[in-house]
Amino acid sequence: MVTSFTFSFDALLACLFPLALFAVVLRTSFANLRAWSWAAARDFLSLRSLKFSAHGPFSQEKAYQSYTQYSRLAGLEVATRQAMYSSLGRAHKRLGNKIGYPAKLEQLRYVTDINATITEGIAGLAAKEFGLSETYAGHADLSRVRESLKHFIRDWSEEGAQEREKIFRPILDVLAAVNPLERKDKRILVPGSGLGRLAWEISQLGYDTTANEYSFFMNFAFRFLLSAETTPSINEHTLRPYAHWFSHQRSNDSLFRAIHFPDAVPRLTLNFRLAESDFLTLSPPPPRTQPDTSPPDFAWSKSDAGDVHDQKGYDYIVTLFFLDTSLNVFETMEHIHTLLRPGGTWINMGPLLWTSGGHAKLELSLDEVICAAEEIGFVFQNGSGDGDGKGGLGARCTVECEYTGDLKAMMRWIYKAEFWVATKTK
């Protein structure tokens, strides 16, 4: 008798749950339907044409809307998890209660609210600096907000130091080998700079550095760090960046762990700029007017200083996990070539995860990328060999690394990123 009651109660729940879910979906859909517009439809249909339009997927409006909506959308996700849990049978719910699963979902709600203080801070600053308000009618993009939040960890936390060391070191070693007295006269562009740590590190070496990024998901987050108003000091902020993905976690402590950032405080300076635009629209900087006046007695090499000031273009372009975001990698490499001065240097580190979601016009193998780069007019330092890393400073090599990895997770996604230094010869 008891069994049949339990069975019919569970059956009732099983019927009610889809109905409840249907009601939630219906409500959300109607709410979104009101917000649906031509801009949102275009967001959905096209990547390329929208990147640079007022309401594109990386636009100020979309990013602002997404940061503003983070709390609500993440809250809905928690509600969905709670509804899924409620749909369990009584025996399984008793077991779930025993191991504290409902409390874990409550903790997720609490942590989501804490993370929202960061996203609200980012949105607040963006509203102030760009005069934005919630008039954008397109859909918010929770995943891009989360990607940017994870970049706080990759770029600006002690937790991310290990990940950064592997990929920054070969690049910074090449740049650190240049005479410090020459560096201030050398211009470096870092396209696709994300949250800007590499570009900032390069500027700290004394180079005249421009970080370039077109996604306002990234730029708003970076501005949050650059502003003395929102980030006055080191490790000022706290995030629980891994909380929303329950997979591969050894414990809830690990899942909900807090990470403080930034481990260094970046500011824009005379030698550190941010160009918030599409890399493909950038022009080579004009020739420098000031000749190099550094004393000649310094021990570092002074190979080409002095004769480069009448040339327009960057001395270095540094691409980190950037090349494979290209819709047309030929166009990207040609533009790197155009922006460099003759004799200028392209430093690259990254995999070939073609990320334009089926929109890329080309998806090349590494061999093809190298061949095309040579055709365009690059000569690879220490040859274009097999990247075994035995060629010394700046030699092509393969670097095992991660991208916004979780150090404590039960899985690792390892890239075998390719590092090279190439010179513009023609």
Shortest spacing between CB 176 and ligand SAM, in angstroms: 19
Shortest spacing between CB 308 and ligand SAM, in angstroms: 25
Residue closer to ligand SAM by CB (options 74, 320) is: 320
Residue closer to ligand SAM by CB (options 322, 346) is: 322
Residue closer to ligand SAM by CB (options 112, 209) is: 209
Residue closer to ligand SAM by CB (options 252, 356) is: 356
Q: Give the DSSP H or E segment for 119.
A: helix 101-130
Shortest spacing between CB 376 and ligand SAM, in angstroms: 17
Closest residue to ligand SAM using C-beta atoms: 192
Close Cβ partners of 236 (under 8 Å, ≥ 6 residues apart): 261, 262
Angle (nearest 5°) at CA 76 between 71 and 78: 95
Shortest spacing between CB 287 and ligand SAM, in angstroms: 24
Angle (nearest 5°) at CA 260 between 251 and 195: 110
Residue closer to ligand SAM by CB (options 280, 362) is: 280
Q: At what angle do helices 90-98 and 2-35 cross, to 10 degrees?
A: 80
Residue closer to ligand SAM by CB (options 154, 223) is: 154
Q: Give 134's DSSP letter.
A: T
> How far apart are the C-alpha atoms of 370 and 318, rounded to whole Å?
16
Residue closer to ligand SAM by CB (options 390, 416) is: 416
Residue closer to ligand SAM by CB (options 208, 402) is: 402
Phi, psi for 73 (deg, rounded to 5): -70, -40
Shortest spacing between CB 54 and ligand SAM, in angstroms: 17
b/e per residue 311-346 (b: at least 16 CB within 10 A): bebbbbbbbbbbbbbbbbbbebbbbbbebbbeebbb
> How far apart are the C-alpha atoms of 234 and 228, rounded to whole Å?
11
Residue type, 227: S
Q: Give the DSSP H or E segment for 190.
A: strand 187-191
The DSSP-derived string for 162-178 is: HHHHHHHHHHHHHHHTS
Q: Which two tokens stand for residue 133?
A: 């308000």
Q: Give 380's DSSP letter.
A: E
> How far apart are the C-alpha atoms of 219 and 372, rounded to whole Å?
31
Shortest spacing between CB 169 and ligand SAM, in angstroms: 14
Residue closer to ligand SAM by CB (options 108, 149) is: 149
Residues in the site for ligand SAM, rule: CB under 6 A?
154, 191-194, 212-215, 218, 278-280, 320-322, 325
Shortest spacing between CB 402 and ligand SAM, in angstroms: 11
Shortest spacing between CB 198 and ligand SAM, in angstroms: 6
Shortest spacing between CB 411 and ligand SAM, in angstroms: 20
Nearest to 40 by CA among 140, 108, 123: 140
